[in-house]
Amino acid sequence: MIEQGHALPQATLSELTADGMVTHQSDTLFSDKKVVVFAVPGAFTPTCSAAHLPGYVTLADKIKAKGVDAIVCVSVNDAFVMKAWGDAHNASEIMMLGDGDASFTKALGLDMDTDGFGGIRSQRYAMIVENGVVTTLLVEAPKTFEVSKAEVILEKL
């Protein structure tokens, strides 16, 4: 599993924008920037939709006021699902990125197998990344939602 002080692995993440599909390479996406990344097991799932994403939507301005260049939400879903989920929650200040093949999530070592429920998914986590290096990493214990909340990240900034 990735640790604080380690550089993010090379991977491709997808985003559906008003101009069409955009693929982001992790090395360029995170270089020369301070970025908050949070990941969820799945778009439109109960905790993710009721609390995790809405917390970041509500606190986006306060998080960015702490010198954060971007807030990124990652899930092992495709970019179309991530766009629809972001639109449903007015997440205009958050980059909704799909990790459709879980390559980024697996490279981080933060994948989990939910078997017949959904297959390979991301663990729930949040991190602060500065110039491609993880400076803060907060990974949830299974079936919890405590350390990756927007309020906790705001305190860590």
Catalytically active residues, by annotation = 48
- The pairing of strands 34-40 and 120-122 is unpaired
Task: Classify 20 in phi/psi space as left (phi over 0), alpha (psi -120 to 50) or beta.
Answer: left
Longest dimension (CA), the chain: 41
C-alpha count within 13 angstroms, C-beta hemisphere, residue 28: 5
Both tokens assigned to 93:
């200040």
